Amino acid sequence: MKVQRYDYLSQFERFQEFMADVSRMILDGHYVLSEEVSEFERAFGAYLQCSYVVGVNTGTDALLCSLKSLALRSDHEVVTHANTFNATVAAICLAGLKPVLVDAEENTFLMNTKEALGAITSQTRVLLPVHLYGKPTPMQELIRETEKKGIHLVEDAAQAHGARIDGQRVGTFGVLGCFSFHPSKNLAAAGDGGAIATNEPKISEDLRTLRALGQSSQNNHVLPGYNSKLDSIQAKVLSWKLPSLDIWNQQRRKVASLYRERLRDLPLKFQSWNEGEEHVFHLFVIRTDKRDQLLNHLQSKCVDAVIRYPVPIHLQPAFSQYGWRRGQFPIAEALARELLCLPIRPNLTVAEIDYVADCVRSFLKGHGKKLGTV
């Protein structure tokens, strides 16, 4: 059996109907910031229950434009964590701000809240949690403390469309929530795409100016902006898929729970979460000190497992200017050595889940010490 990570085709029901819509857009010249973009922005805003959504070119641009919209200075600091995708930290640098990293938390693999709050200095202007793998970062304490200190909370929700804490969608807790619609994501374009959610009218207007070459009206450039607009055809794809997102997320949760059930007695550790948090399993990660051998084994059995992320941020050459050292964020380093993502997609079948679990079991049986499950 071959178990793939992605099945893009399955996300297009009524494909002919969809293609007829796209053909019409192309023939009618609906290309740039057309009604299709506004329609998706309204629909995604309604889904998130937030006042404004601004569509941009990528998730990286969503982060970059968000940080730019806060009008900060180059000596201002943004606190985020060492176990994230490169784009989170690259966007901070590209916005001309100073990234400050904290370690991951042992059980959730997300930002260690205590360390993040402890890293706040007089120069800190933004706290940037990442809802990695689809699990919401606990927000209550972060909201309380950042409000007290007048620090902006900006969420990287690129991997967590639809995830909730006590019913509220991630991306709506902070002043700005950033989403990616890269084809791999839970809500995916047929190419690149991104969006920013906010409840602040002034910020949403500034973001619209920023994404459109700094123009407030035709040929009136009020600031040096980017050219970062959500493409009209991608907006159509996203509007087409959005009504299915909650169903797909529910199916991902089902896959994750079957994996956990089948793997529960093995020497593996899983990502833990709190009551009230609704994980959307962009990725299903397992932790084992036999990670590299297990990956080889799974690949030899045609299981499309993958490592996210093998090199933590502080050891990436792109960020060498910040002087971070090996050993500085030991949990992020351990996660980079030990985490493995098993294939997960909404339509993974029980037979496929059983096959992957059997492959993991056959490899781990009799191997190594127990890391403990949560």
Ligand X SMILES: Cc1ncc(COP(=O)(O)O)c(C=O)c1O
Binding region for ligand X (CB under 6 A) out of 152-160, 164-172, 249-257, 365-373 = 152-160
Q: What is the largest CA-CA distance in the chain?
A: 69
**Residue from 59, 99, 136, 138 in contact with ligand X (CB under 6 A):** 59
99 lies in the site for ligand X, by CB under 6 A: no
Residue closest to ligand X (Cβ): 59
Output the smallest distance, CB 83 to ligand X, in A: 10
- Identity of the residue, 87 or 348, whose beta carbon is nearer to ligand X in the bound complex: 87
- Identity of the residue, 69 or 88, whose beta carbon is nearer to ligand X in the bound complex: 88
- Please tell me the distance from the alpha carbon of residue 158 to that of residue 171, in angstroms, as a whole number: 9
Both tokens of 32, joined, read 């740039």
Output the smallest distance, CB 362 to ligand X, in A: 31
- Please tell me the distance from the alpha carbon of residue 89 to that of residue 79, in angstroms, as a whole number: 10
Q: How many residues does the chain have?
A: 374
87 lies in the site for ligand X, by CB under 6 A: yes
Nearest to 181 by CA among 87, 60, 92, 85: 60
130 lies in the site for ligand X, by CB under 6 A: yes
- Identity of the residue, 88 or 198, whose beta carbon is nearer to ligand X in the bound complex: 88
109 lies in the site for ligand X, by CB under 6 A: no
Q: Which helix (H) or strand (E) holds 46?
A: helix 35-48
Nearest to 61 by CA among 221, 277, 212: 212
What x-and-dash track marks residues 221-260 binding ligand X by CB under 6 A?
----------------------------------------
Give the C-alpha distances (Å, rounded to integers) separating 313 from 254, 255, 333, 334: 31, 29, 9, 13
- Identity of the residue, 146 or 159, whose beta carbon is nearer to ligand X in the bound complex: 159
Alpha carbon of residue 151 to chain centroid: 22
Give the C-alpha distances (Å, rounded to integers) separating 239 from 169, 171, 246: 18, 18, 13
Contact between 287 and 371 under an 8 Å Cβ cutoff? The reply is yes
- Identity of the residue, 138 or 267, whose beta carbon is nearer to ligand X in the bound complex: 138
Burial of residue 362 (CB within 10 Å: 0-12, 13-18, 19+) is exposed
Count the residues of the shown chain that bind ligand X, applying the rule CB under 6 A.
Answer: 15
**Residue from 11, 58, 69, 137 in contact with ligand X (CB under 6 A):** 58
CB atoms within 10 A of CB 332: 24
What x-and-dash track marks residues 169-208 binding ligand X by CB under 6 A?
-----------x-x---------x-x--------------
- Please tell me the distance from the alpha carbon of residue 112 to that of residue 81, in angstroms, as a whole number: 8
- Identity of the residue, 88 or 232, whose beta carbon is nearer to ligand X in the bound complex: 88
279 lies in the site for ligand X, by CB under 6 A: no
260: amino acid identity, one letter? R
- Identity of the residue, 63 or 286, whose beta carbon is nearer to ligand X in the bound complex: 63
- Identity of the residue, 85 or 273, whose beta carbon is nearer to ligand X in the bound complex: 85
**Residue from 30, 53, 56, 60 in contact with ligand X (CB under 6 A):** 60
Residues that bind ligand X (CB under 6 A): 58-60, 84-85, 87-88, 130, 156, 158-159, 180, 182, 192, 194
